[in-house]
Amino acid sequence: MAFINPGYGDRGFWKDVRDTMQAAADQFGYELIVFDSNRESNTMIKNAQKVFALEPAPDYIIAVNEHQQGVRIVLEAEERGIPVIMLLNDLTDEQKATYGGPGEGNDHWIMTLTPDNERAGYDIARSLIDGARIGRRNHQPQSLCLLSLAGDRKTPASLQRLRGLDHALSQFPVLKEERRVVANWSYDEAYHQTESWLSEGGCVDVVWAANDDIALGAIAALEKAGRVPGKDVFVSGLNWSTDGLQKVVDGQMTMTHGGHFFAGAWVMVLLHDYIQGAGFPYQDPEISFRMEAITSDLISCFADLLDERDWSTLDYHSFSIANSPPGTKYSFVLHPEDGHHRY
């Protein structure tokens, strides 16, 4: 199996995706080859070429629609007869309208596994309202100036999180969006965007951040300006990053949403079942799973697992439904009440 990793293999979110995938592959006895692209579109294109040049060809290719390169990979895999799975970022609706979805003219595109990013975007916004109310001694704010820091303008995950934000804005008029900018998933860009807004005299009570790096950059700019995150301004992010979790512990972030790096492991579970003939892709080849919000109330439940980040301690066989009764559905959800951190 080959994974075209759009990110870094030695740090950050994509390292966790890579590592959970490797841990599950090891348990199932599958050989996994990973090509890291370091968030560079040209490197990702070259890595796709390397994968298609492998001899023998991989049995399965796992790819991500980062930099809008998913179509190219799906079409070439179809031409070569190699089964392909899209992970975390699916093709966009526009791309599917043109090229079709899994099984719709793409017989070798066997499945897609994506998190519910829209729900996460909504939850992030909702947590800002709750954080402001609690931080102000249960005083219900009449209006909150919102600075929204998006990931990018193209990635399906970014667009879906923004759709969740827009849904929250329509439901909660207390949130007054003052500015929405793109931070390109970057701490530095988030820092400069927030610093620029503050220097212009922009109003900021709450900051909606598309991921933890963006949230951390915004926090640094707020602190430089004399603001106190968790007291007079409230920030929320996503990724379950080590630094993000620490900010939740410190009270500087209302929560970090996430757990979606476990998609690396879940795709191995799905492939295992597919190989075992479970047949699920023919019923629903586009599979979505829920992410989980970690707040200060919940962080102690997950502390051991997330501090150690030893993903091999989880039993991935227990999530397989290959030997389950017909109609059994997947449950890729963290249960904090389980002492062994079963997903």
- The answer to whether 198 and 222 have CB atoms below 8 angstroms apart is yes
According to DSSP, the residues that pair with 35 across neighbouring strands are 4
Q: Taking 60 as the threshold, does the pLDDT of residue 337 lie above it?
A: no
The predicted pLDDT at position 137 comes to: 67
pLDDT tens digits for range 110-127: 999 999 999 999 999 999
Burial 179-214 (b: 16+ CB within 10 A, else e): bebbbbbbbebbbebbbebbeeeeebbbbbbbbbbb
As a whole number, the mean pLDDT across the chain is: 91
Task: Report in angstroms the alpha-carbon separations of 269 from 13, 127, 263, 284.
Answer: 20, 32, 10, 15
In the predicted structure, residue 211 carries a pLDDT above the cut 90: yes
Q: Please give the residue that has the higher pLDDT: either 299 or 124.
A: 124
Residues 6+ apart with CB under 8 A from 84: 60, 61, 62, 63, 73, 74, 77, 78, 108, 109, 110
Mean pLDDT along residues 294-310: 84
Query: What is residue 336's predicted lDDT score, i.e. its pLDDT?
Result: 46
* Residues 251, 230 contacting (CB under 8 angstroms): yes
Return the pLDDT at 218.
98
Whole-number pLDDT of residue 262 = 95
Task: With both helix axes pointing from N to C terminus, report the angle between 156-171 and 117-135 in degrees, rounded to the nearest 10.
Answer: 50
More confident residue, 286 or 222: 222
Q: Does residue 305 carry a pLDDT above 90?
A: no
334 confidence band (pLDDT: 50, 70, 90): low
Q: How far apart are CA 213 and CA 12, in angstroms?
A: 9
**Of 263 and 304, which is predicted with more confidence?**
263
- pLDDT over 90 (residue 135): no
pLDDT tens, residue by residue, 56-108: 999 999 999 988 889 999 999 999 999 999 999 999 889 999 999 998 888 99
Higher pLDDT, 243 or 326: 243
Distance CA(254)–CA(237), nearest Å, equals 8
**Are 240 and 306 in contact, with CB atoms under 8 Å apart?**
yes
pLDDT at residue 338 above 70?
no
Going from the N-terminus, what domains does the chain have, and what CATH number goes with each?
2-115+260-319 (3.40.50.2300), 117-257 (3.40.50.2300)
* Percentage of the chain modeled with pLDDT above 90: 74
Among the residue ranges 153-157, 236-240, 277-281, 310-314, the one predicted with the least confidence is 277-281
